[in-house]
Structure 1
Amino acid sequence: MTRLVTALSLLFVTATSFAEEPAGSPATPEPLQVFDAATFDDDGFELPYRLMAPKPTDDDEKRPLLVFLHGFGERGDDNRRQLDHGGSLFASADFRDRHRAFVLMPQCPAGNKPDSDEPVVWSMKLRPTSVTVPLGIDQPPSKPMHAVRALVDRLIETLPIDTDRLYVAGLSMGGYGTWEMAAREPEFWAAAAPICGGGNPEWGERLKDLPLWAFHGDADNAVPVERSREMIAAINAAGGRAIYTEYPGEGHGSWNPTFASRQVWDWMFAQHR
């Protein structure tokens, strides 16, 4: 069973109803062939990234951009590992034919912050399983997040990107990053899709007008399902209409059923600012 929660209702539907049409077979060609590798220098901070361009067409229309943030296990500097989850989906012929989008997959560096035992991550602070509240949104973003946002501006300047169709999504550590990036500039993004992440419920008011669909497994032992539940509750209490899908019995791999759903990506790419 898959649980879909909106501001208005609690609806139980089967998982297969979200994947009536599978999101596509494994990528042909391989993601490494479709995603070009590069490095972005953000005032001395080096951010490896992969960028997939849409398939060429005869028209000159601008195309949407999806920014996808990977999880903690994909940190590094090989500029490959961030494609492990999602790369095959986005590179698939089905996805590329259906959405004709640019897809940006940056890679967060590994290691710890200088003079600290705190790891480098997308978000300001990964919220532990406690009552600890993350830092306020008025604090500066992490260096990796700042670099991602600066890179998005660079891509907008140099590529035919539709600025009314900018999307952010991510899983686990990238789910936290998605919540924060969306909360920092809710007017910049057309939609957001955080997967098994979390944020600060105080951001509910900021996020109430942003189309948002969150996902989590209720058996997640890495990021407690309460992190998503409380964010959705805060947004909808502020008057928003955020969508929430909770997968009963699913652990920390809730990105797998999410990737398998055409409905998720059709919804996202249908959103405009």
Structure 2
Amino acid sequence: MAQPHGMRTIGLLLITTMISQVKAEELKAEVWKAPNDATVPYRWHEPESLAPGKLYPLVLFLHGAGEKGDDNQAQLKHGVMAILREAAKINEPCYLIAPQCPKQGYWAPYNSETKKLAEEDGLYKRLDAAWALVEKFEKQYPVDPDRIYVTGISMGGFGTWGLLGREGKHIAAAVPICGGGNPDIAKKFKNVPIWTFHGEADPTVSVDLTRQMVAALEKAGGKPKVTYYPGVGHDSWTQTYDNPEVTKWLFEQKK
């Protein structure tokens, strides 16, 4: 006998509430030894239950410089739990991977003189290791290869732009926040759905870096979405990840 509509609604609300109450310490903690010999501590989340034959989206989250280290915990400080909370609200069970960069490392090499990311392969060891972890999950779990998303803040925003330049053909959508990239190669990922964010009063990472990437993408024929926050400093991520429209947009994108 079919469930009354009211009962189905209550059931969905209960499931959503359970998922949204996942605590940071409940995310699984593991260490990944990448093919390039980089050692990457990471935390990860999987859907509460897996339906036979169903594939699930995967979100790669790249943290900022303030969360570097080896405790496998600090990278959860910003963004991660908000993403999972908002995904639960729209009933989008997903995998999420949050790797941690060591104190002496970085996701992508920024050149302060040229004001763009460098392109030398040898400088992307940590970012390549993070992407290799995504590929590992694709093989090991029911991950939808057409719904792999990347987002990051500050240093992770640079990492997101860097990953678009290296693996754009595999990325369904990206949300780089207060970062910068290399506008010279924007044409390589002009067709990837991108929604980028930056505070106009950011004293740490100039908003001009995001403006350069948006202009380069548009010149190449891309159609990026962009949100500039008037009067907002470096923390442009809190209101971004708290915005349900951002999460909804992200999960709507498919290759």
Task: Supply the AA of the counterpart residue of 1:71.
Answer: G
Alpha-carbon shift at residue 140 of structure 1 (Å) = 3.7
The match for 2:230 among 240, 248, 262 is 248
The match for 1:41 among 33, 49, 53 is 33
The match for 1:134 among 105, 117, 127 is 117
The 5 A counterparts of 1:11-90 are 28-33=21-26, 35-43=27-35, 44-90=37-83
Q: Report the CA distance shift for 1:29/1:192 in structure 2 as closer, same or farther (over 3 A).
A: closer
Point out which structure has higher relative CO (alpha carbons under 8 A, 6+ apart).
1
SS at match of 1:206: helix
CA contact (8 A) 1:166 1:191 kept: yes
CA contact (8 A) 1:218 1:248 kept: yes
SS at match of 1:186: helix
TM-score normalised by structure 2 residue count: 0.87
CA contact (8 A) 1:47 1:107 kept: yes
1:122 maps to 2:115: no
TM-superposition CA deviations, 1:250-272 (whole Å, max 9, x none): 00000011011111111111111
- Give the structure 2 partner of residue 218 of structure 1: 200
Structure 1: distance between partners of 2:55 and 2:228: 34
Alpha-carbon shift at residue 46 of structure 1 (Å) = 1.0
Structure 2: distance between partners of 1:95 and 1:165: 14
TM-score normalised by structure 1 residue count: 0.82
CA contact (8 A) 2:20 2:88 kept: no
CA contact (8 A) 1:127 1:198 kept: no
Structure 1: distance between partners of 2:79 and 2:114: 31
Structure 1: distance between partners of 2:46 and 2:200: 35
The 5 A counterparts of 1:115-264 are 120-123=105-108, 125-128=109-112, 130-136=113-119, 139-264=121-246
Structure 2: distance between partners of 1:145 and 1:183: 11
TM-superposition CA deviations, 1:175-229 (whole Å, max 9, x none): 0000010111211100011000001111221121110010000000000000000
Structure 2: distance between partners of 1:27 and 1:54: 12
Task: Supply the AA of the counterpart residue of 1:122.
Answer: W
Two-structure CA RMSD over aligned residues (Å): 1.8
SS at match of 1:147: helix
User: Aligned pairs, how many?
Assistant: 236
TM-superposition CA deviations, 1:49-97 (whole Å, max 9, x none): 01100121545311000000000010000000000001321343x5235
